[in-house]
Chains A and B, each alone.
Chain A
Amino acid sequence: MNEDVPLAVSMEHIYKSFGRVRANVDVRLQLRQGEILALLGENGSGKTTLVNMLSGVYFPDHGEIYVQGRPVTIRSPRDAFDLRIGMIHQHFKLIPVLTAAENIALGLSGSVTLNRKSIHAEVARLAERYGFELDPARKIYDMSVSEKQTVEIIKVLYRGADILILDEPTAVLTPLETEKLFAVLRNMKADGKSIIIITHKLHEVLAISDRVEILRKGEFIATVETATTNQARLTEMMVGRPINLMIERPEASGGPERLELNALTCVDHEGVTTLDDVSFTVYAGEILGIAGIAGSGQRELCEAIVGLNPPTSGSISYSPPHPDLAKTPCEKERIDRLSPGAIARRGISMAFVPEDRLGMGLVASMDITDNVMLRGYRKGKGPFVDRVRPKALAERLIEELEIVTPSTSTSVGRLSGGNVQKVLLGREIAQEPGVLIVAYPVRGLDINSSYKIYDLLNEQKARGVAVVFIGEDLDVLMEISDRLLVLCGGRISGIVDPRAVTKEEVGLMMVHVAGAEGLDSETGSATGEAA
């Protein structure tokens, strides 16, 4: 280790628990002056918890923090600012109805009245110095995701931060925007700033960082010089054992057509076109991947198919499988004017694992049994509900999917992210669907749970289900999909064979619809919608 460089931050013997969960156990972190340190770890390894104690969001149960060599106590974000520490949160902390400048000046002390002019000037100076583009008078709700991130970064710089923490900053960015961000980070490093960047994308770690610190299950594993390591070794340290990161892709069975979308267009209540002339077909026994930057119409697409978001024009047709081969193939039927209830009443089994698991797919306050019966509670005659069969199903799911829970009467809100997803996916699969739509199914899950989910999806594919997989991680999408559909600003920019294209090509398609005109305004409005 190079001991000559002074430490900007040093955290020693940090402990932090949430109830029974021990998020950080004797963790240490050392950030050198003027370096970019990558904090690497799986979901749930305690990375965010650790830096939140540096930014004043959490207070450690035990441990010491030193900034520029001095012991400090950070009780609030304010204390962190005073120590010149600034954090860019994964979920932006911006007020939509205020302008960029107002957001930047928020919470600062100074004269009683706000001098917007001088703030604008300072923002412009900072933007120029590090290579940003930003109009300080624009309201946040008009901005795209990457512009919001720019505001967050300038907000931190405006407060004079020398130590910057970025929590998964690239999760919402396109490959191109990521490159731009990295350029800015390098500028800041050259300017003497010390930076911690949290990520779980290995190639980004290798591209941007000087050193890497690895956490696993809340514990400190190692710190290594980036130049002396590689992806395989980082993975091994992150997961704790050598693992094969290959995702299986069994051959698609070439089944019949199951779902057909024709010229589907959706306009939301604000008049923004969220889906524009979308046509594609999904076949039984395949996984169709859908890629795109956040807010390109993925959510609207899912919700249109399952009947939650009726399209403005276009059609969706469903061709049911016919178990009785003697019969003639079933008739295709239009389902685009049907509500989820109406679709279910027609006997169409449409499984959907939404992005918002606890806000849409499940009821956090209800127990596993009551959640399992969400889809089938109408079954049976009479006004009374039957909880006997759902309970049996819940017990079966717990056993088969290895769901860790005290009992079937535990509310799902108390389960961990991976187990929540298993309850949800398990319930959806249990209805023996013809189509299975999964949106961001492994977000927030650790590697073991993620691979369990991939296996379940491949199992469904083998059973002849038409699987639609909406993802954010291009690497995963390109490995698991049989075909890959790329969305951009609500339009399809192409359907490709993931084996035949490179990631860069797909990345370009995500921001550019071939042959499309006036695309800037459209993508702008669509990305502005991103959560």
Chain B
Amino acid sequence: MIDIVTALLMAAVLAGTPLLLGALGEILTEKSGNLNLGVEGMMFMGAITGLIGSYCYEQALTAAGIVPNGVISALVALTVSFLAGAFGALIYAFLTITLRANQNVTGLILTIFGTGFGNFFGEYFGLAAGGYVAVSSVTKAAFSPLHIPLLSEIPILGKLLFQYNWMVYFAIALALGMFWFFRVSRFGLNLRAVGEDPAAADAAGINVSRYRYLATVIGGGICGIGGMYMSMVTTSGVWVHGCVTGYGWLAVALVIFATWSPLRGILVAIIFGGLMIMRMYVSIPGLPAQIYDMVPYVATILVLIITSVRQSKEHAMPAGCGLNYFREER
């Protein structure tokens, strides 16, 4: 029994991590007042570029007769996927902040664009590689579960806490860092002000555009890293057509579920991850497996309804979210 619970929890953490990364990126973005619905697109962009980045790194070194290094390969994937997500977010930021386009529409187009981007280059490199793109075992090893001496060997707890791939710890550290940023730092406070009421922030001498650009672009980069998790960990370094589909949107929903708090995001991501993989661990007689697929989405709908019924001033979407700001004459 304990084994099943442990396995379920571990699988939940693994499945929840890309959602957490996507949600963290979106929290940062929304705190600045930009409602970027293009998370799925940015995750797609990060997913394909991360994979291709590692792939190209390996190919280049192998061609030169050098054995690729797993850690460097992982770093390449991390950097490239961040940049790709940030690039998607930059398009969004330029259109909404500078050109004042509608945020909803821009985000949706970013999703279409990013999905096309991911699948297009996935197929393109697949064709070039003669079938499909996949990274070698060196890189795969860099994304496999860690083994920390002593800690990983603690019974049960070691398994539950210290046997994940490095990206899980990266995501959690990021969540903690963001929590500190919003709660304690001056920049976090300023960013919250920008998201709540850009006019007030502007009057207080905060450069609204700069904060929005930075938060949106960095947020997009984090989403890109979340996408990279999908292609490197979830699908084990092989490009699967449409591999991110649905995850980006769940990440957006998770932001609401987490009431814009990075810390609650960790918890909620594990719950969502658990819902997604539950059918492999728990079977209720008479309930077809496909119905399990619905659960995360139905849960999200329920959360949407519940949060809308009981409104709260504190745990709400930033008041300026979704609206563009311009001082008109500048």
Contacts and interface: CB of A to CB of B under 8 A. Distances in A.
Interface of A: 18, 55, 57-59, 75-78, 81, 87, 89, 92-98, 102-103, 105-108, 110-114, 141, 155
A59 B313 contact: no
B200 A93 contact: yes
Given A59-B330, A95-B192, A97-B313, A76 B186 contact: no
A95 B328 CA distance: 21
Contacts of B187: 112
* Central interface residue in B184, B201, B205, B314, by most chain A CB within 10 Å: B205
B186 A141 contact: no
Contact of A107 (B190, B319, B327): B190
Contacts of A76: 202, 205, 207, 330
Contacts of A106: 189-190, 193, 200-201, 204, 206
Nearest to B202: A77
Interface string B308-330: 00000110000100000001111
A104 B206 CA distance: 13
Given A78-B205, A106-B193, A107-B205, A97 B200 contact: no
B196 A77 contact: no
A114 B186 contact: yes
Nearest to B190: A107
Given A81-B205, A96-B319, A105 B197 contact: no
A59 B329 contact: yes
A96 B193 contact: no
A77 B204 CA distance: 7
Contacts of A110: 186
Q: Contact residue range for chain B?
A: 20 to 34
Contact of B189 (A57, A59, A78, A105): A105
Contacts of B319: 96-97
Contacts of B284: none
Interface string B199-236: 11111111100000000000000000000000000000
A425 B301 CA distance: 44
B329 A58 contact: yes
Contact of A95 (B185, B186, B193, B207): B193
B33 to A, nearest CB: 12
A112 B190 CA distance: 11
Nearest to B186: A114
Contacts of A141: 313
Contacts of A75: 330
Nearest to B200: A93
Contacts of B330: 58-59, 75-76
Contact of B185 (A92, A102, A113): A113
B121 to A, nearest CB: 39
Contacts of A112: 185-187
Given A76-B330, A93-B204, A106-B204, A98 B192 contact: yes
Closest 7 CB pairs between A and B? A107-B204, A93-B200, A93-B203, A78-B205, A107-B205, A107-B206, A106-B204
A114 B204 contact: no
Residue among B197, B319, B328 facing the most chain A CB atoms (10 A cut-off): B197
A55 B196 CA distance: 22
A141 B314 CA distance: 10
Contacts of A105: 186, 189
Contacts of A77: 202-205
Contacts of B203: 55, 57, 77, 87, 89, 93
A166 to B, nearest CB: 14
Contacts of A95: 192-193, 196-197, 200-201
A98 B205 contact: no
Contact of A97 (B184, B196, B329): B196
Interface in B178-195: 184-187, 189-190, 192-193
Contacts of B190: 106-107
Contacts of B193: 95, 98, 106-107
A103 B197 CA distance: 11
A382 to B, nearest CB: 35
A65 to B, nearest CB: 15
Contacts of A57: 202-203, 327, 329
A107 B207 CA distance: 8
Contact of B204 (A96, A97, A155): A155
Contacts of B186: 105, 108, 110-114
Contacts of B327: 57-58
Contacts of A114: 184-186, 189
A112 B187 CA distance: 7
A75 B207 CA distance: 12
A96 B196 contact: yes
B184, B199, B204: which has the most chain A beta carbons within 10 Å? B204
Contact of A102 (B189, B314, B329): B189
A115 to B, nearest CB: 10
A419 B263 CA distance: 52
Contacts of B197: 93-96
Nearest to A75: B330
Nearest to B195: A95
A18 B327 CA distance: 13
22 contacts: A57-B202, A57-B203, A58-B328, A78-B207, A93-B199, A93-B202, A93-B204, A94-B200, A95-B192, A95-B196, A95-B201, A96-B313, A97-B192, A97-B313, A98-B192, A103-B204, A106-B204, A107-B201, A108-B205, A112-B186, A112-B187, A155-B204
A110 B187 CA distance: 10
A95 B189 CA distance: 11
B323 to A, nearest CB: 14
Contacts of B202: 57, 76-77, 93
A284 B201 CA distance: 49
